[in-house]
Amino acid sequence: MSCLELLAPAKNMAFGKAAVDHGADAVYIGPERFGARAAAGNSVADIEALCTYAHRYFARVYAAFNTLLFDHELEPAGRLIQQLYHAGVDALIIQDMGLLEMDLPPIPLFASTQTDNRTPEKIRFLEQSGFSRVILARELSLSAIRQIREVTGVELEAFVHGALCVCYSGQCYMSAAIGGRSANRGACGQPCRLAWNLEDKKGTVLCENRHLLSLKDMNRADFLGDLVRAGVTSFKIEGRLKDLDYVKNITGFYRQRLDALIETDLSRSPASSGRTTFFFTPDPYKTFNRRFTDYFLSGSPDSPTSSIDAFDTPKSVGEPVGKVKQIKNQSLVLDRPHDLRAGDGICFPNAPGRLKGFYVNRVDENAFVFPSGKTLIHKHDLPKGTMVFRNHDLGFARLMAGMTAQRKISLDMTFCEHPQGFELSCVDENNIRARALLRVSGDPARNPDTARAAIEKQLGKLGNTCFELNRLEILSKPVFLSAADLNCLRRDLVACLENNRLTAYARMTAGPRPAPVPFYREHLDFRANAANHLAVQFYKNRGVKSIDPAFECAPPGPGTPVMTTKHCIRRSLGWCSGKTEKKPNNAPQSCLGPLFLTHGKLRFEVVFNCRECEMQIYTFFHSA
């Protein structure tokens, strides 16, 4: 039977526990250092507590250890890895190949998406180098994933939801080039979310003040079955910097989608234990989103309905609630029924690259939406037909602040007499057993039915535990036992079962490191991200003859490609004519280039590789 894993983000221990409660089979969390989200670090003690919590459900915890390391950091990194291993972490997500030259504990290594995993030869090399799992590049199509699966046996993990980096992961140096904030060191300044101008070589502005490198968010909920058939077994949600509502909502949404998929295929099963009950309806539009795209999963986007760009704003737009029907007496009337209420926030585009919005003060007659405060709305801001979005749902936010899910492991109990008193035993859904003894004689019951009902009531009180009772079998003669004695017996059994589950938990271990295999290139530039002598040694041990230092160690000079992306500005603006490199009829004469992105004094050259359907951005320089 094949296990399918839902992998959720954890900013901290509390978020990780919430992810487990909402159905995650595994969570990934950053330690105090060396994670690709520097603002989401956690102590070893907190990670150990999360491991204990998750392992009760046979859920796993992975440490995001995926930054590049400098030489002076290798020794402290090694010590931290040892601590994480002894804390119970199930695997390390890494980018730096220097770690494979170190003496590590037998902890499985996952190749981060930062290692630029987009070709069969790269994934096969990583598998042969000892990685237990490879996290695929987000840009890969289903066809490309199938090709990888055909030549490798390594576990494949794919992102299915969340924010998108516009560049191939691990190959973006734009933030480092601008201000020294390296994405590969966990400190990306996100210049891709800025507003840029697009200019031709004469300085003519072809597109002004738009977020030309900002993408929509990924949503592949409708493609989970396709991904399974392509060979993916772990489905990852992005978002270690997102808020708790997002973690609860999106984890719950994909838990329900994966469960529905598993129910139709008896050869598949969840990768952890327990059943989650939700006290809300998960909806990805209710929490942070820039609208959605499946992002090249079916191939390159070639129509407006499959566009990937979010040029108007890098902020959350939320859920569409309707189009403007009319503006009347300083109120907004939409073209469809809605449930907007006081306190909700709505937004709308009022010009290319501009987003406006307001909070709702009141809604009269379920139709007239009045803005709060002194906000004035005008027909020129909201012409008829403008789509309006709710980007803050006050009712949903209040609902999410309470208890939103409960995850329980099913068990069967048996209560019977014992030579020393009474015994309560159980077996759970994973066939883990436990028993507890109550050393009292018990008084004969005057009313057998009442005595039996009391036993059933007290032993079934599992509400504050991670267990739920499926069946209780009472084999003893009718006796009267105090509620205190029965409660004590039940608590002892639960403690024993929890301990037995942790003991039975099958932690993954890594085998011996394989002998080096030749790398498929002999010469590597800065994009190999070798930032320490062990990373250089790793590649040279595998036949590489020359390797340039990482960008973070020795930034290359002018003309350096700081970003390579499948996103194409010309395509998004409707100026693409396929691979002919001819100017479309509706495009400006100068759109074929050279073109430049400018923001204040920043200036980058944009180069289009139409044959490969890729775009590159080259080292900036200061404008005159």
Residue 371: what residue type?
P
Residue 405: what residue type?
A
Looking at residue 558, what is its pLDDT?
Answer: 86
Tokens of 333: 């009337």
Q: Are strands 41-42 and 2-10 parallel, antiparallel or unpaired?
A: unpaired
For residue 579, pLDDT over 70 is answered with no
- Cα–Cα dist 92/107, whole Å: 7
String of DSSP letters for 106-149: S--EEE-GGG---SHHHHHHHHHTT-SEEE--TT--HHHHHHHH
Q: At a CB cut-off of 8 Å and minimum separation 6, what does 264 contact?
A: none
- Say what the alpha-carbon torsion angle 75, 76, 80, 82 is, to the nearest 10 degrees: 30
Residue corresponding to tokens 């494949």: 156
Of 10, 87, 91, 6, the closest CA to residue 51 belongs to 87
For residue 306, pLDDT over 70 is answered with no
- Cα–Cα dist 617/196, whole Å: 13
Residue 208: what residue type?
E
Assess whether the region 2-163+220-272+280-286 and the region 313-400 belong to the same CATH fold. Answer: no
For residue 304, pLDDT over 50 is answered with no
Tokens of 167: 């560049």
Tokens of 445: 């019951």
- Cα–Cα dist 618/566, whole Å: 15
String of DSSP letters for 48-117: HHHHHHHHTTT-EEEEEE-S---GGGHHHHHHHHHHHHHHT--EEEE--GGGGGS---S--EEE-GGG--
Highest mean pLDDT among 11-15, 332-336, 618-622: 11-15
For residue 526, pLDDT over 80 is answered with yes
Looking at residue 591, what is its pLDDT?
Answer: 82
* Element spanning 483, H or E: helix 483-504
Whole-Å CA distances, 352 to 70, 144, 196, 574: 43, 35, 12, 15
Looking at residue 624, what is its pLDDT?
Answer: 39
Looking at residue 583, what is its pLDDT?
Answer: 66
Check: CB of residue 321 under 8 Å from CB of residue 340: yes
Looking at residue 477, what is its pLDDT?
Answer: 87
What is 313-400's CATH number? Answer: 2.40.30
- Which residues pair with residue 349 across a beta bridge? 355
Question: What would the mean pLDDT of 387-394 be, rounded to a whole number?
Answer: 95
Question: What would the mean pLDDT of 555-580 be, rounded to a whole number?
Answer: 87
Mean pLDDT of the chain: 93
DSSP type of residue 445 = P
- Cα–Cα dist 502/56, whole Å: 6
pTM of this prediction exceeds 0.75: yes
Residue corresponding to tokens 């973006």: 172
Of 97, 8, 136, the closest CA to residue 61 belongs to 8
- Cα–Cα dist 341/393, whole Å: 8
Of 4, 14, 43, 54, the closest CA to residue 505 belongs to 54
In three-state secondary structure terms, 345 is: strand
Q: Where are the domains of the chain?
A: 2-163+220-272+280-286, 165-215+515-624, 313-400, 409-504
2-163+220-272+280-286 fold = TIM Barrel (3.20.20)
DSSP type of residue 442 = -
**Each residue of 255-292: pLDDT tens digit?**
999 999 999 988 899 999 999 999 999 999 999 999 99
For residue 104, pLDDT over 90 is answered with yes
Of 266, 54, 234, 61, the closest CA to residue 160 belongs to 234
Question: What would the mean pLDDT of 124-144 be, rounded to a whole number?
Answer: 97
Check: CB of residue 392 under 8 Å from CB of residue 344: yes
Question: What would the mean pLDDT of 471-494 be, rounded to a whole number?
Answer: 94
